[in-house]
Amino acid sequence: MVIYSVYVVNKAGGLIYQYDNYVPRAEVEKTFSYPLDLVLKHHDEKVVVSFGQRDGIRVGHAVLSINGVDVIGKNTSDGKDILEYLKDPSNYPVSIRFGRARLSSNEKLMLASMFHSLFAIGSQLSPEAGSSGIEMLETDVFKLHCFQTLTGQCELFDQNLKSALEVAEKAGNFGAGS
């Protein structure tokens, strides 16, 4: 089993630790003529496909590069807005590479707090007293597992996690800002 990410959420639903393991990104590059037959929009500092799936390009995929030059958020490398750049017929034909963009810090916080809310709702709606809540969510492409401390002592877990992170930092396993 491959572990793509680890999120540690405290009992209040706050994200206290997150680690991304390398996830290969499925990317598609295609050359387009004017007018562009996909609908793109700005979303959370990225330009994403909002309508018009085709040739492996899916709704939600982000623009990763234009004419072989990586984009920075919603701008070309020279600071031009991607949507404005693609409105200009003189920029065509244009080669655009699409793929899944990495989650931003805000998206990670939002996902952790949403999962915590679902977990809490599952615990409360269970017909059995003392339900452990959601243990696993399964989709067609991944499984999301939830593990709780065996003692139910979030404070004890927090202390041990902090100790383990301090040991790892002293050993040099984490860089500044990790």
Task: Give the type of residue at 23.
Answer: V
Host domain of residue 138:
5-22+104-170
In a domain, 177, yes or no: no
Q: What is the per-residue pLDDT for 104?
A: 78
Please state, in angstroms and rounded to a whole number, the distance separating the CA atoms of residues 116 and 145.
Answer: 12
**Same domain? 76 vs 139:** no
Confidence label for 24 from pLDDT (cuts 50, 70 and 90): low
Closest CA to 96 of 26, 36, 24: 36
**Same domain? 15 vs 48:** no
- For 50, the token pair is 């909002």
Over residues 8-18, the pLDDT tens digits come to 887 788 888 88
Q: What is the per-residue pLDDT for 176?
A: 42
Q: Are the CB atoms for 92 and 32 separated by under 8 Å?
A: yes
Q: Does the reported pTM lie above 0.75? A: no
Span of 16-20, 133-137, 142-146, 163-167 with lowest mean pLDDT: 163-167
Over residues 166-175, the pLDDT tens digits come to 776 677 554 4
**Same domain? 32 vs 10:** no
In a domain, 32, yes or no: yes
The segment with the largest mean pLDDT, out of 4-13, 48-57, 118-127, 136-145, is 48-57
152: CATH: 3.30.450.70
Over residues 97-135, the pLDDT tens digits come to 999 877 778 888 888 888 888 888 888 888 887 777 788
Q: Report the pLDDT averaged over residues 26-54.
A: 90
**Same domain? 118 vs 160:** yes
Q: What total of structural domains would you count in the chain?
A: 2
In a domain, 126, yes or no: yes
Burial 135-144 (b: 16+ CB within 10 A, else e): eeeeeeeeeb
Decide: helix, strand or coil at residue 172: coil
Confidence label for 63 from pLDDT (cuts 50, 70 and 90): very high
Give the chain's radius of gyration (CA, Å).
21
HSE-up of residue 29 (Cα within 13 Å, Cβ side): 11
